[in-house]
Each structure stands twice: as structure tokens, then as C-alpha cells.
Amino acid sequence: AQSVSQHNHHVILSEAASLELGCNYSYGGTVNLFWYVQYPGQHLQLLLKYFSGDPLVKGIKGFEAEFIKSKFSFNLRKPSVQWSDTAEYFCAVTSPGTYKYIFGTGTRLKVLA
Amino acid sequence: DGGITQSPKYLFRKEGQNVTLSCEQNLNHDAMYWYRQDPGQGLRLIYYSQIVNDFQKGDIAEGYSVSREKKESFPLTVTSAQKNPTAFYLCATHFTGTENYGYTFGSGTRLTVV
């Protein structure tokens, strides 16, 4: 069965620090990968997604993620975080055509002003 | 405005009561999903439906029931059989048949058992 691991449960950074949130999945076949963000009091929003092609994908608000197939990873990065990036971040995986997402447990990011 | 409407935003349930959470969408999406969000556990799939009059159990369907009589609506009933119903419930929709994967989420219903 597919599963998604997000090893960082809580991350605290100062503004302008660089961010990398880990996401590893377990599935040997073709996958589609997503990062969602949930700002305090708001609904989940799609940050970025990977289906195929360039393994480095860019999303909204300066976020990017790199798909490394050999490591089964899809880590989220941002070179310089802002206070407004404080949120919970979820990685998700699905197989093409199945539509059912498997979500990770989430990472709570707190950015100190 | 296209989107997903979940109601109510907050819901309180007494022990032994059934309650129904509403999810309505005007996005013309085919597929609809119910997830439960608990701190430290991420989102877990309760039920999903890819077409009208058809739905499947997710990973944690016990104690829940759904119906899909209309494309726009996918209500979730939390029954008295659900032993730990206090959680945040999210409805999501998806347009099938294209490469444009990506859920659209509603704003959620927070259910508390009192």
C-alpha cells in the first residue's frame, strides 16, 4: 500500500532562513506528487504538483519541490521564508488515474518575525 | 463564485446522536471526497464518490455513511457508531478525465462531541 512520510512534524525558522521540508513515499510505480498548504483558519490550497517531465517544479509564493525518483522523495524548498509562510504543509501522492490521494501527517511551520 | 460550501462550520454533537455534514459544490466536478483531519495524523480518507449514485469506502469508513444523489452534493453522516468523532472534516472535489489533477478543498466543519 502507498504511504507518505513527513519526518519533520514541527519546524521553527526565522524570517529569511531557507526551508526544506522532507517528503518520502512508498510506491514503486508511476506517481503524481503534490504539496498542499493550510494557512491558519483557511482551507487547504495546492502549492505545487508533479506529474512528469522536469523533476524540479515551481509553485506559488516562491516554493519549489524536487522529485528524486531514486530516493522516493519530493522535498519542498523555499530559499527565504517569510512570516506569512507560517502554516501547515502536507505532502500527498497518488497513482495516475486513481484520484485517491494519500496524505502525509503534515509539517507545522512557524516563522518568527 | 465557483467553489465548495461546507456547512455548518462548527457542529456540536451529543453522545449517541447522528449528525450530517453538508458538502455542496458548483464546480461541476465529478468526484467528491470526505477526509478527516486530526492533529499529527494528517488527512485520512473516509468515503469518496466518482459518479452520482456510486461511492466507495475509504480507509476509515466505520461509523460514517454517505449518499450521492446529485452531482453537486455529497453529505456525510457521522453515526453513533463512530467512537471518536471529534475532528475536523474536509470535503474535496476533483474533475476526473483530465491531467489536471488536484483537489479543491472546502473550508471544513469542526465537529465536537459534548
What gap in Å lies between CA A4 and CA A94, rounded to an integer? 10
- CA of A55, closest CA in chain B: separation in Å? 17
Number of H helices, E strands in chain B: 0, 11
In sequence order, what are the residues at sequence separation of 6 or more whose Cβ sits closer than 8 angstroms to the Cβ of residue B6?
B21, B22, B23, B89, B90, B91, B106, B107, B108, B109
pLDDT for residue B99 is more than 60: no
Q: Do A44 and B40 touch (CB under 8 A)?
A: no
pLDDT for residue B50 is more than 80: yes
Name residues 23-42 of chain A within 8 A of B (Cβ): 32, 34, 36, 42
The C-alpha cell that represents B11 in the structure block: 457542529
Choose the closest CB to B99 out of A51, A94, A104: A51
Which positions in chain B touch A44 (Cβ < 8 Å)? 90, 92, 103, 105
- The size of the A-B interface in CB pairs under 8 A is 52
Q: Do B41 and A105 touch (CB under 8 A)?
A: yes
pLDDT for residue B103 is more than 90: no
CA angle centred on B76, ends B11 and A38, rounded to 5°: 65
pLDDT for residue A97 is more than 80: no
User: What is the pLDDT at residue B94?
Assistant: 86
pLDDT for residue A28 is more than 80: no
User: What is the pLDDT at residue B1?
Assistant: 54
Q: Tens of pLDDT along B8-36?
A: 999 998 888 999 999 999 999 999 999 99
What gap in Å lies between CA B90 and CA B30, rounded to an integer? 17
